[in-house]
Amino acid sequence: MSEPLEAKRQEFRIYLRKIRSYEEALGVLYWDLRTGAPKKGADMRSEVIGSLSGEMFRLSVAPQMEEFLNYFEQSEIREQLSEVDRVIVRECRKEFDRSRKIPPERYEEYVVLTSQAETVWEEAKKKSDFAMFKPYLEKVVAFNREFIGLWGYEGHPYNTLLDMYEPGMTVDKLDRVFGELREKLVPLSAAIRERGDAPDTSMLRQTFDKDRQKQFSLMMLGQLGYDFDAGRLDESVHPFATGLNPGDVRITTRYLENDVVSALFGTIHECGHALYEQNISTDLYGTPLCTGTSMGIHESQSRFWENMIGRSRPFWQRYFPDLKKLYPEQLANADAESFYRAINVTKPSLIRIEADELTYNLHIMIRYELEKALFGGELAVEDLPRAWNAKYAEYLGIEPSNDGEGVLQDVHWSSGGFGYFPSYALGNMYAAQFMQAMRRELGDIDALVGEGRFAPIKDWLVDKIYRYGKLQTPGEIVSRVTGEELNPSYLIAYLEEKYRDIYKL
């Protein structure tokens, strides 16, 4: 690389680090807002977040950014760049072309709105009052429709939003893979209901001290390989992970006194996200590639650790005695097998984050179909509660008694996260496909889990997925790691084997 080119490359990296500095500062402010900032300061904090976001946005669409991109996209220059630098330029160009179509002042207004909307959502959820949240949600949806109009779309307007979270994903692809899941999983669920031999879950419906729940959650994070020198665990209304940088990846969970597993699996879920972010290659630090490649791949890790590891039989053969020591009275009549069956009971339920593995994808399909209709012009915001309840009656045979356990249960829409929900189901499919590849290469995964030896599993994921950050696309990662494109049959096989065993079908 010539000396002038290297100097230009270093100048570009410094510019990108400046943008990344704004992102990190905003991440800290957002984390604080969601984990205990005084309510009376929420509006002013939202203004600060909006102001800083506006400055960061202006840097990303400034003439200087365009100069950098034009320079590095010259064929004779591009040929001299490393793979990392070429992908950085590609990702910055994609973001630049999309962002510059939005006036900076509109973007700043949007950030302020979504920050305020999240705060209102928290209160509306507590009160089960959709009317309180509706004006904010209508504005958030209107902004997103405006942005889609500026960005443009192919096929369906919703495709543009999907691509932001899962590059290359479309309505047509989702309709196909969701259709395959529905075709196989609905009959399995029906067969289980007809069998009627449900595991006893009474042991889970007791009072469990929150401090001891936290103690067990912290222990599990350490066992799974979460680096506490590069993160921390806090409490919030809705569990989340915030990757400020690989040396500061914070997670939150939610403790419920009448539910010993909600916080545990919420913690393990967010740990999966954190392990990804904590183990990105140092070569990518300070660049736009120092993050997960997509939300689907990200969710594959949270769902893998939460369900395929954390809800497995060997996991509880190893760790149930530790949990029983914390709750000897509550779990006096339980053993590892009965606890394993209890935490994997499948039945129609209203709350997505507490749904079992088998019905979870139906929760996602409901949200996907509502979002698709919302941005396809077939559904208005004011009709969401009615449509939500109707979908739950159709798909799961149950209906929410209030909006808190219905349309208001998720934080995503308040933050403008339309297009995100399909990532969870995609993550389930990716996770099952990765697990199959892992078993081929590492052998007896169950034995490793049963011995509490998670390092080989984590190391495999670091080598195959985590260290690449955003250097490769979701499709490239799946094809390289598994030898084929996304294939829902692995998730179907995993769920059929697991639940036929649990319910003795």
In a shared domain, residues 371 and 484? yes
Reduced to 3 states (helix: H, G, I; strand: E, B; else coil), residue 11 is: helix
Residue 138 maps to a domain:
no
In a shared domain, residues 284 and 408? yes
> What CA–CA distance (Å, rounded) separates 212 from 399?
34
Q: Is 270 considered catalytic here? A: yes
Domain that holds residue 98: 3-128
Residue of 118, 270, 357, 369 marked active site: 270
Domain boundary among 61, 94, 128: 128
In a shared domain, residues 311 and 416? yes
Report how many domains make up the chain: 2
Domain boundary among 77, 109, 128: 128
Report the pLDDT value the prediction gives residue 155, as an integer from 0 to 100. Answer: 94
Q: If you average pLDDT over residues 422-442, what whole number do you get? A: 97
Residue 443 maps to a domain:
yes
> What CA–CA distance (Å, rounded) separates 301 from 222?
17
Report the pLDDT value the prediction gives residue 505, as an integer from 0 to 100. Answer: 85
In a shared domain, residues 76 and 198? no
Residue 68 maps to a domain:
yes
In a shared domain, residues 175 and 123? no
Tokens of 274: 């954190």
Helix, strand, coil percentages in the chain from 3-state DSSP, rounded to 5: 70, 5, 30
Fill in the amino acid letter for 112: V
Stated as kind and residue range, the H or E segment containing 249 is strand 248-253
Reduced to 3 states (helix: H, G, I; strand: E, B; else coil), residue 489 is: helix
pLDDT of 425 above 90:
yes
User: pLDDT tens-digit profile of 222-234?
Assistant: 999 999 999 999 9
In a shared domain, residues 58 and 190? no
> What CA–CA distance (Å, rounded) separates 257 from 343?
16
CATH (domain of 290): 1.10.1370.30
Report the pLDDT value the prediction gives residue 2, as an integer from 0 to 100. Answer: 86
Residues in the chain, total: 505
> What CA–CA distance (Å, rounded) separates 336 from 261?
14
* Cβ-based neighbours of 100, under 8 Å, separated by 6 or more: 61
Report the pLDDT value the prediction gives residue 323, as an integer from 0 to 100. Answer: 98
Residue 33 maps to a domain:
yes
Q: CA angle, corner 358, sides to 412 and 492, nearest 5? A: 110
User: pLDDT tens-digit profile of 199-218?
Assistant: 999 999 899 999 999 999 99
User: pLDDT tens-digit profile of 113-145?
Assistant: 999 999 999 999 999 999 999 999 999 999 999
In a shared domain, residues 486 and 339? yes
Residue 164 maps to a domain:
no
In a shared domain, residues 117 and 260? no
In a shared domain, residues 243 and 351? yes
pLDDT of 478 above 90:
yes
Inter-residue contact 215 to 13 (CB < 8 Å): no
Residue 161 maps to a domain:
no
Edge-to-edge strand ranges of the sheet holding 248-253: 233-235, 248-253, 241-245
> Among all chains, which residue has been given the structure tokens 């939150």?
252
pLDDT of 196 above 80:
no
Q: Are strands 248-253 and 233-235 parallel, antiparallel or unpaired?
A: parallel
Residue 165 maps to a domain:
no
In a shared domain, residues 371 and 481? yes
Residue 150 maps to a domain:
no
In a shared domain, residues 331 and 204? yes
Tokens of 46: 């939202």
User: What string of DSSP letters covers 73-91?
Assistant: TSHHHHTTS-HHHHHHHHH
Give the end-to-end CA distance of the chain in Å, rounded to a whole number. 64
Domain boundary among 69, 101, 128: 128
Inter-residue contact 407 to 273 (CB < 8 Å): no
In a shared domain, residues 124 and 176? no
